Amino acid sequence: MEIITSIEKMQKLSLKFKREGKKLGFIPTMGCLHEGHLSLVDLLVVKSDILILSIFVNPTQFGEGEDLEQYPRTFEEDVEKSKARGVDIIFAPKADEMYEFGFSTQISESNISNRLCGKSRPDHFNGVVTVCTKLFNICQPDFVSLGQKDAQQVAVLKKLVNDLNIPLSIEVGEIIREHDGLAMSSRNTYLNHDERKDALVLSKALDLAKSLVDSGCNKTNEIKEELGKLFKSVSCARVDYVEIVDSETMEFQRKVLSENSLLMLAVWINKVRLIDNRLL
Amino acid sequence: MEIITSIEKMQKLSLKFKREGKKLGFIPTMGCLHEGHLSLVDLLVVKSDILILSIFVNPTQFGEGEDLEQYPRTFEEDVEKSKARGVDIIFAPKADEMYEFGFSTQISESNISNRLCGKSRPDHFNGVVTVCTKLFNICQPDFVSLGQKDAQQVAVLKKLVNDLNIPLSIEVGEIIREHDGLAMSSRNTYLNHDERKDALVLSKALDLAKSLVDSGCNKTNEIKEELGKLFKSVSCARVDYVEIVDSETMEFQRKVLSENSLLMLAVWINKVRLIDNRLL
């Protein structure tokens, strides 16, 4: 396995592979790899001639006061895990090469991005789509895999790829959970012992919603009301949003469920913001 | 020569050529081809295995009240001229396929774009960089040629390509002029007989500036003042801007000339807006 930090070197190599007719797989990450990321490696390792995983904590997708500085960096472990799972190249560019002095280009998606996490984190998705476009241009992937945990990010990036005619296909890996149900996330490392327990309220909420649906409830407001009660019962939990949306368009479903109803949660556990989701 | 209107067909073909190691040249145009465009074909025809020329009157780069509807369409002639000059593929997509219902992604460059034509035509360059990114993704060029007449567009697109790491090189073709000095432009067809004569004031202004410089003047304000007098002497001419800028960054040079001083003109001849420029 090779580790590349130079943008120019990575891009030259990718273009060479493409000229040779090789199929390239790509997984964009911010490092601190867990089983969620590694399941995305598994998705692509078979079908890719070359599998590239990027590790880049992208400053432009963090807002003011967010956790850019404290975001966990575990490069050596990430390298070991990637190697063991079959990654061919780790691409780890430097921020000042990705964003040279005078950088002045931004991509924005103005529909799906404007709600849910996009409302709580203004400019977040602008940062995501801009850096991903750069990474796609550098790494030239045929396949990209993304985790369903960031469901809105998946929807936004699918829209980006479609609108800008980027020639790649996106594969979505299911949410990987700890044994007790907590969705894996690099931000789980911020939780202390008590918060870790309280954080289970997210996956419990997903289960509660599913059981309500199974017992015949199809009114979105009723489901949201029940979940509201559950979150209120956990003192350190503060809801950012609880919404039921169309899984592709992320449009709010205000009345009844449809086939594509996706329950989306963003909840603060004290100072740690966690997200989770489930098809209903 | 082949004419392709389907985005999917064009992209599949481009990707196939790339896998075969072929070098692709690309010239984005809005049609109504004149010798300026065709000189760009000459620039790339030798070095490209496949030369693609796109014809697409891009609605998103026209502002409200601008000349989108009346913009000249001369498709059959364009095809003949392109064929005669060595173009291999004309790509002429439909607007409703380029911008499907619900299109919601935009690219913006926020430094070079904000002055000169960008000030007079808000959103113009957003439309340009977005459509060019789409065309680049569809046509996968190694080389793109652009005309120096649209000097600011060249600077903006170079910035786009650099900022987004788009793997192509831009070649700039010099301004091609009519025998009497008027810079070739599809919009010259709007001029009536008298306006056509008066339009010569632009190239005369460039010559005047050059002679001022040759005679030792290097103060940008003095040069602009002399040009102002010249434009005032033509009754149907109304200056949009007369500026001296750095040719790469498009930054205004407020005091004295430098090595990269570019004189930029945008002048209305009655209802026709013309641009021209010259290195001083």
Summarised one tens digit per residue, pLDDT across range A51-105 is 999 999 999 999 999 999 999 999 999 999 999 999 999 999 999 999 999 999 9
- Residue A167: which of B21, B110, B137 has the nearest Cβ? B137
Among A165, A248, A250, A251, the strongest candidate for a mutation testing the B interface, having the largest count of B CBs within 10 A, is A165
Asked if A93 contacts A56 with a C-beta cutoff of 8 angstroms, the reply is: yes
- Say what the pLDDT of residue A163 is: 98
Question: Does the beta carbon of A6 lie under 8 angstroms from any beta carbon of chain B?
Answer: no
**B103 to chain A, minimum CA–CA distance in Å?**
6
Which residues span the domain enclosing B257? Answer: 186-279
Whether A89 and A210 share a structural domain? no
Question: Does the beta carbon of A169 lie under 8 angstroms from any beta carbon of chain B?
Answer: no
Angle subtended at Cα B103 by Cα B106 and Cα A59, rounded to the nearest 5 degrees: 40
Residues A142 and A165: their CA atoms lie apart, in Å, by 13
- Residue B165: which of A7, A107, A109 has the nearest Cβ? A7
- Residue B105: which of A7, A19, A159 has the nearest Cβ? A159
In the sheet where B261-269 sits, what is the strand order?
A: B237-246, B261-269, B272-279
- Residue A110: which of B19, B104, B133 has the nearest Cβ? B104
Helix, strand, coil share (%) of chain B residues, nearest 5: 45, 25, 35
User: What is the percent of chain B with per-residue pLDDT over 90, rounded to a whole number?
Assistant: 100
pLDDT in tens, A186-234: 999 999 999 999 999 999 999 999 999 999 999 999 999 999 999 999 9
Domain boundary, last residue among A114, A143, A173: A173
Whether B148 and B15 share a structural domain? yes
Taking CB atoms and an 8 Å cutoff, what residues of chain A touch B159? 104-105
Asked if A73 contacts A172 with a C-beta cutoff of 8 angstroms, the reply is: no
Query: Tokens in use for B49?
Result: 């295995």
Mean pLDDT of all residues belonging to chain B:
97
* B169-173 and B143-147 strand pairing: parallel
For the question of residue A34 being annotated catalytic, the response is no
pTM of the model as a whole = 0.97
Confidence of residue B265 (pLDDT cuts 50, 70, 90): very high
- Say what the pLDDT of residue A178 is: 98
**B104 to chain A, minimum CA–CA distance in Å?**
5
Asked if B42 contacts B85 with a C-beta cutoff of 8 angstroms, the reply is: yes
Residues B166 and B160: their CA atoms lie apart, in Å, by 8
Among B104, B143, B160, B251, the strongest candidate for a mutation testing the A interface, having the largest count of A CBs within 10 A, is B104
- How many domains is chain A built from? 2
Please check whether residue A181 lies inside any domain of the structure. Answer: no
User: What is the percent of chain A with per-residue pLDDT over 90, rounded to a whole number?
Assistant: 100
Confidence of residue A133 (pLDDT cuts 50, 70, 90): very high
Residues near B275 by beta carbon (within 8 Å), at least 6 away in sequence: B117, B149, B150, B183, B185, B202, B264, B265, B266, B267
Whether B158 and B249 share a structural domain? no
What CATH number is attached to the domain comprising A197? 3.30.1300.10
Interface of A with B in 74-103 (CB under 8 A): 100, 102-103
**B251 to chain A, minimum CA–CA distance in Å?**
13
- Name the CA radius of gyration of chain A, rounded: 19
Residues near B182 by beta carbon (within 8 Å), at least 6 away in sequence: B188, B196, B199, B200, B202, B203
Whether B55 and B146 share a structural domain? yes
Question: Does the beta carbon of B15 lie under 8 angstroms from any beta carbon of chain A?
Answer: yes
Once rounded to an integer, what is the mean pLDDT over residues A2-27?
97
Angle subtended at Cα A256 by Cα A251 and Cα A259, rounded to the nearest 5 degrees: 70
Confidence of residue B58 (pLDDT cuts 50, 70, 90): very high
pLDDT in tens, A151-199: 999 999 999 999 999 999 999 999 999 999 999 999 999 999 999 999 9
Beta bridge partner(s), residue A239: A267
Please check whether residue B219 lies inside any domain of the structure. Answer: yes
Domain boundary, last residue among A131, A150, A173: A173
Distance of CA A206 to the CA centre of its chain: 18
What CATH number is attached to the domain comprising B19? 3.40.50.620
Confidence of residue B22 (pLDDT cuts 50, 70, 90): very high
Question: Does the beta carbon of A250 lie under 8 angstroms from any beta carbon of chain B?
Answer: no
Whether A134 and A227 share a structural domain? no
Taking CB atoms and an 8 Å cutoff, what residues of chain B touch A251? none
Mean pLDDT of all residues belonging to chain A:
97
